[in-house]
Structure 1
């Protein structure tokens, strides 16, 4: 299974038509629709789907990731540039984005991470490490070589800055917004307006909120299992990792089916059917993060066995970040204490990758399989 690095965001955003009609469904208010093949919904002949804010934030993270990658090449990183991109200063990331937007990542970040300045601290540490130009060692941030001759920039514990920032924001912004904002009763519950169109738009508030959750998933509207290799780059961030484990667990069809049926239920004003699909999304998106964590634990075990320390730190950084994403679900099966043990003990005593060994990695893997038994039969294939 290949987990392709996310590059060149190009999500197609369906623009909403400006209309002042008030009927929720095509045709009569009492008419119901069947789930369409793709995530495409319309009213009066025009699309009723829009999530431009989500598309902008996916593009922002892609460009932040590209910038942080310069540190792996030995270039100095600017702490201020990273802060400007995170806050989207002046609408173009302080001149670092190749597009303009009035959105940002910072104000959508999980509150605890925001209060703890988690990303600001990472930016400062990454910048300082890049300016030293030193080789990493236990307790010393710097560069460490990978098997292919490239380097990664790591902190004093061997954690790769690029992975902590990119995969971290996938969790604390994208996952958090799906789980704790857009799939909640405050946004799609029975009391949310689903009768009147928002002013100047072709969607109700409830429709739009659900579309925004879908936007953070990062999938093309026709995403499905057996996704063609020629279109792999169209699946972004979480959708990309869904595709990575689709052969073993069928995530693409499962998640798209739930998104499409959930949006259909909103059109049909069927709260019971909507709740059923939301339950599936909470469960399967959490399972996706757990499966991806195991995938990277497996990769780390292979690299440690081959004596490839730089590669091991690279994949272990991804495992750490995907395990960390599990904490953002309010319905998570895994406890915070279990996650802390995985991150701070199993992945190396005191969270130090320089101390990691196969025993700890296998223990973390066993913990995840026990909590998520659906992964038992495929744990070694992920």
Structure 2
């Protein structure tokens, strides 16, 4: 299902109201291989996300430094190192030379930086046993007094606050963009489309059948929400659908086929959101059968992070505001209390909210 229209010749008869007749025929390539693509800023920010959140996770085994957190967040003082960002689409040495940062493009940046700072502060207790009301280590996980891993709230929450926020803003802007080509440069519409693709976090030759975790792990691999297309979005075929929609939409923009472009936007929005929902549903369901508290709290922390990400879902989402509020209420319950309920009453309710809104998300 990777590319049902890859390489196919599409015959079109519609017209654009603002650009004249649509080119009758055009080809959708099998990869995101288009002229003059420049989405460096988007791909680099996803690399920054990967490096920053990986560094936060190290707080489970050593004390973190608040200055480093600030430098990574703002991309100052050459904070990215080979350890933090050594095998990414943009490595540490390239990231350190850029003038962009996470701080400027994350929605609710103060909130997510506070989660990150909380993880830094929590790392002081990496050798302290955790207990109800006491922050520390449980298994190989570092949790706060209620059982939450702050690094998971950041890593998964930013898939919404960084990725979805920017992808949707760019795609919402595309229909009103200028699509006039100039020599040697993409049109404004093409540029915004390319940036949106960069934030998705998949390589231009993305293959849903390839196992990107096989050694040697490629630097240009799916990251952020792109990484979850295969991990939790496989059942709904999110990766193939989104990748195909991006390729089709970009080709359609070149041919001034705006109807097809708009269909692609709808597909991208639907399946990026459903990927986050599928991930949240998976972790909330898995947590119900986990007796080991470290594993249960990890699942709940991931689920909470994905719920945070869904705040930035598309307008008109199938997940209502009332349903979303209830999900947050459940996952802001202390995890020790959720774990104490042998019937998993609240967690079953949360899982039901997802299936009611989105239908079946996992096999």
> Could you say which TM-score interval applies, normalised by the shorter chain?
0.7 to 0.9
| 1:136 to 2:130 alignment | yes
Q: Which residue matches 1:23?
A: none
Displacement of 1:94 in angstroms is 7.3
Displacement of 1:259 in angstroms is 0.7
| 1:226 to 2:209 alignment | yes
Q: Structure 1 residues 325, 123: CA separation in 2 closer, same or farther (over 3 Å shift)?
A: closer
Unaligned runs of 5+ in 2: 1-21, 86-91
Q: Which residue matches 2:103?
A: 106
Per-residue displacement from partner, 1:156-212 (whole Å, max 9, x unpaired)? 221112211111222211111111x2111x3x11x31211338xx531111111011
| 1:365 to 2:351 alignment | yes
Q: Which residue matches 2:8?
A: none
Match of 2:34 among 25, 41, 48: 41
What SS is found at the alignment partner of 1:334? coil
Q: Work out whether residues 197 and 205 of structure 1, in 8 Å CA contact, stay in contact via their aligned partners in 2.
A: no
Q: Work out whether residues 56 and 116 of structure 2, in 8 Å CA contact, stay in contact via their aligned partners in 1.
A: no
**2: CA distance, partners of 1:164 / 1:64:** 13
Q: Work out whether residues 344 and 352 of structure 1, in 8 Å CA contact, stay in contact via their aligned partners in 2.
A: no
Q: Structure 1 residues 153, 245: CA separation in 2 closer, same or farther (over 3 Å shift)?
A: closer
| 1:57 to 2:54 alignment | no
What RMSD, in angstroms, separates the aligned Cα atoms of the two structures? 2.2
| 1:210 to 2:193 alignment | yes
Displacement of 1:243 in angstroms is 0.9
What SS is found at the alignment partner of 2:138? strand
Per-residue displacement from partner, 1:28-50 (whole Å, max 9, x unpaired)? x95752211111112xxxxx212
Q: Structure 1 residues 50, 159: CA separation in 2 closer, same or farther (over 3 Å shift)?
A: same
Q: Structure 1 residues 267, 85: CA separation in 2 closer, same or farther (over 3 Å shift)?
A: same
**2: CA distance, partners of 1:174 / 1:247:** 19
Q: Work out whether residues 149 and 298 of structure 2, in 8 Å CA contact, stay in contact via their aligned partners in 1.
A: yes
Q: Which residue matches 1:240?
A: 227
**2: CA distance, partners of 1:209 / 1:54:** 10
Q: Work out whether residues 153 and 160 of structure 1, in 8 Å CA contact, stay in contact via their aligned partners in 2.
A: yes
**1: CA distance, partners of 2:201 / 2:229:** 10
Q: Work out whether residues 28 and 251 of structure 2, in 8 Å CA contact, stay in contact via their aligned partners in 1.
A: yes
Q: What aligned pairs does 1:301-380 form with structure 2 within 5 A after superposition? A: 301-303=288-290, 307-331=291-315, 332-345=317-330, 347=331, 350-356=332-338, 357=341, 358-375=344-361, 378=362
Q: Could you state the TM-score of these two structures normalised by the residue count of structure 1? A: 0.78
Displacement of 1:124 in angstroms is 2.8
Q: Which residue matches 1:20?
A: none
Unaligned runs of 5+ in 1: 1-28, 43-47, 146-150
Q: Which residue matches 1:127?
A: 120
More moved, 259-268 vs 215-224: 215-224
Q: Work out whether residues 79 and 123 of structure 1, in 8 Å CA contact, stay in contact via their aligned partners in 2.
A: no
Per-residue displacement from partner, 1:231-287 (whole Å, max 9, x unpaired)? 875221211110114542222221111111111111111222111110111111111
| 1:157 to 2:146 alignment | yes
Q: Which residue matches 1:77?
A: 64
Q: Which residue matches 1:12?
A: none
Q: Which residue matches 1:173?
A: 162
Q: Could you state the TM-score of these two structures normalised by the residue count of structure 2? A: 0.82
**1: CA distance, partners of 2:163 / 2:234:** 24
Q: Which residue matches 2:268?
A: 281
Displacement of 1:122 in angstroms is 1.7
- Structure 1 residue ranges (4+ consecutive) displaced by more than 3 angstroms after TM superposition: 29-32, 93-97, 228-233
Q: Work out whether residues 233 and 279 of structure 2, in 8 Å CA contact, stay in contact via their aligned partners in 1.
A: no
